Structure 1
């Protein structure tokens, strides 16, 4: 173990940024380091993720709304940068680790100005806009996929394939076998749209499951995470179809739900894919079509190519198509177990360890010398969509 250092993590917005940041924070503290979090008002609303960690909410803003909006955003970012610099003078971080999104910009800008070593972590298979903006300035780029679109070839020397860290409770599922599916046994379905839910899943899944043959429908046991505005309608539909279902807007015990699920129906967010591959659970994935640079479609490429998931574009995600896919999978227990193994085969269970190792290696001498233990990462061309 190295001597204790101070590290600042910058993340905000969605669970896709906050969950890997929380996993890294726990690992760094386990190694004897001190950690502080810089986030925005959205990021600190996730319950229990950063309990006991010094947290600072700094101003940040999207660059939108035309020239006046950009001017307001610049002023907001300048305020956030000033607060971050004040924190660095007190906390004296060995490195700043940012997880993308505009909420990380003030922290990175202050680090560049004060010559604090920096690492960015990209959760998706397409380099995000903020990470693209700062990629040339940071000391290291950690990626979650072997193929990453929008990553310039000139940055290869500082790219490290670490994977996307997941919570310890999810990682422990690798030690548990895929639940056996008996021919007439209960078929457990987990439906989740990620930290923000997904209305299309709520609109399609209950009706799709209702189209299954009666003998199959009677075997179903569903857990469905829905948006607040959708939950009453979802509850009504399952009751109308006579399908046993537990519906909630938040699942605090999601790892346990994942443990017993035979199949997961979900969006293709980075954290969702990381958890599916860590646990080894087959899935039907419906990428969010409005995601920046269609990155959810890119996220689903690896697990789908391995045979661990079936990707359905949202335009083709109908009740009839879902029923067809579920029936195929549910009538083939051996095939479903094989899909679970395929999903597990592309997991990166050492992601948090490898990311923490990288962060520990980024000190002032390392940064000035431009050295590191970069692992080759393939640069994807253009980030094409796939199905």
Structure 2
């Protein structure tokens, strides 16, 4: 076991930041290290993610809203930085690891001021705003994709491809075979729009499934996550079309839902892509067009190019187009199984381990880094 150290993880706001941070926290704790989470008041509300982890809430401002908005945000950021500096004096962290988002910024600024080594982890295929802001000053950049947009050439030397950590329960699906799909058996569809749901999926998917040939439609079994305001309409649509569907606002056991599904219809958030590729599930992806820097479209590139998913822009996401794509996948049992294998082929199951190795190496340069370093051409070369 390596020497015990203290680490601070800075994350907050959304599950896309919190889930990989929680996976790293568990791995570092398993290795005998002390871990503290620094977040905002939203980040600490995720149930069960950080049980037993020392947690601190710091103010964090979101830049925007004109001159007054920037002034207010700057005040909160500096207050958070001061609180983080006091925390670092107490726990003497070996490194601070940021997971993007505005809640991570005060902790990273404090680390720069205190001379504490820093790492940022980028979950998306586009370097986020906060990560771009600090990338020039951090010691290492951990990435989830081989190709990361908005990565300046000067930052490439310290970029390491590790992947996006997922929950152990999802990772365990790699050891379970793709569910057997008999020619006349039940065809199971999972529809999820991420933690907040997606109205466009609720509007299009029931009608798209209704356009499938009768012999195919009768085989369907759907699990659909919908927004609260959409749920009754969605249930009524499935009932009118005669399609068995379990519609809810929250899927309590997503790993089991993934294990059960033959195909997933989803947004292309970082956590969704990481879980699809970890489990090996074919998908139809509809990137959120309003996502910052269109990062969901970028997230979908790798799995789509590998043949594990089909990507449809929201503008082109119609009932007819969905029905066409499902028939192309679902009517060919061998093709569907191949798509599952191709999705699995771009998964990075060692992401948590490799990220933890990178973290441990920052203040112990002699330790090997097991991730991959991103070359100037965007192709990985082992460090």
Work out whether the TM-score is over 0.5. yes
Distance in 1 between residues matched to 2:19 and 2:377, nearest whole Å: 25
* Structure 1 residues 336 and 14, CA gap change in structure 2 (3 angstroms): same
Give the structure 2 partner of residue 384 of structure 1: none
Equivalent-residue separation in structure 2 for 1:314 and 1:264 (angstroms): 16
| Deviation of 1:252 (Å) | 2.1
Across the two proteins, how many residue pairs are aligned to each other?
377
Question: Are 2:228 and 1:228 equivalent residues in the alignment?
Answer: yes
Aligned to 1:142: 142
Hey, what does 2:172 align to over in structure 1?
A: 172
Match of 2:260 in 1: 260
Question: Contact conserved, 1:189 with 1:220, CA < 8 A, in 2?
Answer: yes
What does residue 114 of structure 1 align with? Answer: 114
Q: Which residue of structure 1 lines up, in the alignment, with residue 41 of structure 2?
A: 41
CA distance in 1, matches of 2:377, 2:98: 22
Residues of 1 paired with 2:371 and 2:249: CA distance? 40
SS in 2 for 1:197: coil
- The list of structure 1 runs, each at least 4 consecutive aligned residues, that deviate by more than 3 angstroms after superposition, is 371-376, 378-381
Partner Cα distance (1:140, 1:300) in 2: 25
Q: How does 1:50-61 map to 2 (within 5 A)?
A: 50-61=50-61
Q: Could you tell me how far apart the structure 2 residues matched to 1:267 and 1:323 are?
A: 17
What do residues 271-299 of structure 1 show as CA deviations (whole Å, max 9, x unaligned)? Answer: 11011011100000000111111111111
Task: Please give the secondary structure, in 2, of the residue aligned with 1:147.
Answer: coil
Pairing 1:376–2:370 present: no
Which whole-Å deviations, capped at 9, do the CAs of 1:143-177 have from their partners, x for residues lacking one? 00111111111112211110100000000000000
Q: Which residue is 2:381 aligned to?
A: none
Q: Which has the higher contact order (CA 8 A, sep 6+)?
A: 1
Unpaired segments ≥5 residues, structure 1: 382-387
Cα displacement (A) at 1:194: 1.1
Paired residue secondary structure (2:105): helix
Equivalent residues of 2:40, 2:58 under 8 A apart: yes
1:219 is aligned to 219
* Compared CA separation, residues 373 and 320, structure 1 to 2 (3 A): closer
Mean CA deviation greater in 40-49 or 98-107: 40-49
User: What secondary structure does 1:352 align onto?
Assistant: helix
CA distance, structure 2, for counterparts of residue 380 and residue 324 of structure 1: 37
Q: Is the 8 A contact 1:7 1:33 kept in 2?
A: yes
Residue 379 (structure 1) shift: 5.6
CA-CA distance at 1:52 after TM superposition? 1.3
Match of 2:270 in 1: 270
